[in-house]
Amino acid sequence: MIRIDCISLPDQPERRDYMRRQFEHYQLPYRFFDAIRIAPGSDWPALYDRKQRLAHSGIDLRPGEMGCYLSHRAVWAEFLAGSDTLCLVLEDDVGLSPDFAGVVEALCAAPADWDVVRLFAMFRRPAFPVRALTGSYVLVDYLVQPNGTQGYLINRDAAERLLCHTARMSMAIDTALDRDWEHGVPIRGIEPYVLTHDDTFGTTLGTAQKTSLSPLRKLVREVNRIGTGLRKQVWLFRKKKRLQARPRD
């Protein structure tokens, strides 16, 4: 069984109406998952690793980024507490293409081919075909992850592993998912996308507040970035060899 969760703040009726109309138009079962809001100026969430955040970024996460991070984790946790085998997670500012339901159905018909599948991404990345889905749609692998948590399918194993990986919060949730060299969860995508991102709603992430760093903190930040970059490049080298060697349908 599959569940469809749309993450949405309860006090955003325009966004909810926008998504509700689409779900009802395509006759899709759904539920709104109340997003977690972190009020500006409130205490840091217990999961927030501020020391690590400043070490690799030098700037605190925005309140909305923290809420988004915690909301996706809460969806995964609730999914794992139930009996559904797959979960479709959507944010509340996406447009569904007419082919959306058919592509999701094709993915669910062969779940052994994936752990997480992005249905939209913020950036275009070189894609390696895995197999045909339906019509012109193709399941793909990415060498470099294309960012974005606007919409994705996830299975129970991936949800459990990502929940563990994100137990400390020091980056935005889409960045945490992109770091496959750390969590090891295969994240695939589809080409072309079956979602669009509606920018007319604006952002609920808030404004970033730059933190003044001492020379020592700046040095630590740069050392962290170098170490992360080296680990990433080793991972990408090995992953590229695997992708290029794999037979294609």
**pLDDT tens digits, residue range 17-32?**
999 999 999 999 999 9
Q: What is the model's pTM?
A: 0.87
Using CA atoms, how far residue 201 sits from 46, 79, 147, 207, in Å, is 29, 28, 20, 16
Number of CB atoms found within 10 A of residue 95's CB: 15
pLDDT at 231: 73
pLDDT of amino acid 11: 94
How does pLDDT run across 202-248, given as a tens digit for each residue? 666 555 555 565 665 555 555 556 556 667 777 666 777 777 777 65
Please, which pLDDT band fits residue 199 given cuts at 50, 70 and 90? confident
Q: How many CB atoms lie within 10 A of CB 155?
A: 19
Query: For residue 70, what is the enclosing H or E element?
Result: helix 63-81
Residues in the chain: 249
At 38, give phi and psi (nearest 5°): -110, 115
Where do the domains of the chain lie?
Answer: 2-245
Residue 240 pLDDT: 75
Q: 87: closest CA among 171, 132, 29?
A: 29
Q: Which residue has the higher pLDDT, 58 or 219?
A: 58
Taking residues 34-59, what's their average pLDDT?
Answer: 90
CATH class label, 2-245: alpha beta
Token pair of 156, please?
A: 């129970």
What pLDDT score was predicted for residue 140? 97
The answer to whether 209 and 60 are in contact (CB under 8 A) is yes
The SS3 assignment for 132 reads strand
Name the band, by pLDDT with cuts 50, 70 and 90, for residue 121.
very high
For the chain, give the percent of residues with pLDDT over 90.
Answer: 72
The pLDDT assigned to 96 comes to 98
